[in-house]
Amino acid sequence: MIHMTISVNAMNAPNSSSQRLSICSPHNLIFNTPLVDVSQLFQNFDVAVYLKIETLGPSHSAKDRAVYGMYHAAKQLGKINRDTTIIEATCGNEAVALAALASMYGHKLIVVAPESISQDILATCQSLGATFELTPEKFAMSRALQVAEQLTRDDPKVWSPKLFENHANAGIHEATTGPEILRAVKPDFFVAGVGSGGVFTGIARYLKRTCTNVQLVAVEPLESQTLSQGRIGVHGIPGLGAGFIPPVFDPKLPNQILPVSTQEAHAWTERLAKQLGLLSSVSTGANLAAIARLVENRENRQKAFVSVLFAQK
């Protein structure tokens, strides 16, 4: 039998023996997430590009941080106690994040969603203890929202986060994600897609207050330019382009709004995976596609770009 010893240096890996590792509670996984350098994707343009990794929370969901922020904001206001049932109309990442949080803190969770909800999301939430009220697919989210409103109306034992209109969604990103980014790098550009508006609004609000001359760029689907043109259309970038302007989104913040096609977003998602081995959501690809357009401008060379990487679902 041949034994082979490989040194840390030979593996080009950090020396773990010199780093003190921490022990934490599940909710601590949500915060102080790293930025990864993906400048290699843009090596012909002399720019630095970093992605804030938002896939490390308990549910590995894009909404772990937002759900945590909304929950604790409501708890501080006395809207939640140990007997509270959480009810929300959602069919995406928020459902998974809520299921993880409800399991963590011992709450019953009812998710109201169209019958077309992803079977993977359905199974994941159920494995975490969530129950579902499914509504007819032909009514999309409109019927789900109506049913959730009926279930929560005038019931003090129920709390509904209402992601798209809950300003604690943006507030947690302003209070935590923004400062975490600035501790690592001072960006010249912050680029992020808009779904509920929480990530973009919260981080952009913090950076605008603390970074002189930072450019704030919002991204939306080319096929559904609701933010910039008031136009609603069908697109293939889950998590972006809700088809209305969310109350959480602050339209005064972006210096510009860039439209990205579904094809571009998928292409950049694939490029990130094939060149750097990073699996991500299509919305992450949309962010990278927007950055690719910005770096073509020679005035934007030797600049630092920051965006966000969300999990593949």
Catalytic residues: 63, 283
Distance CA 195, CA 246 (A): 8
E strands along 170-270, which residues? Answer: 189-193, 215-221, 256-260
The answer to whether 191 and 295 are in contact (CB under 8 A) is no
Judged by phi (left if over 0) then psi (alpha if -120 to 50, else beta), residue 277 lies in: left
Tokens of residue 38, six digits: 């993906």
Q: What are phi and psi of 174, to 5 degrees?
A: -65, -40
Q: Burial letters for 121-156: b for 16+ Cβ neighbours within 10 Å, e otherwise?
A: bbebbeebebebebbeeeeebebbbebbeebbeeee
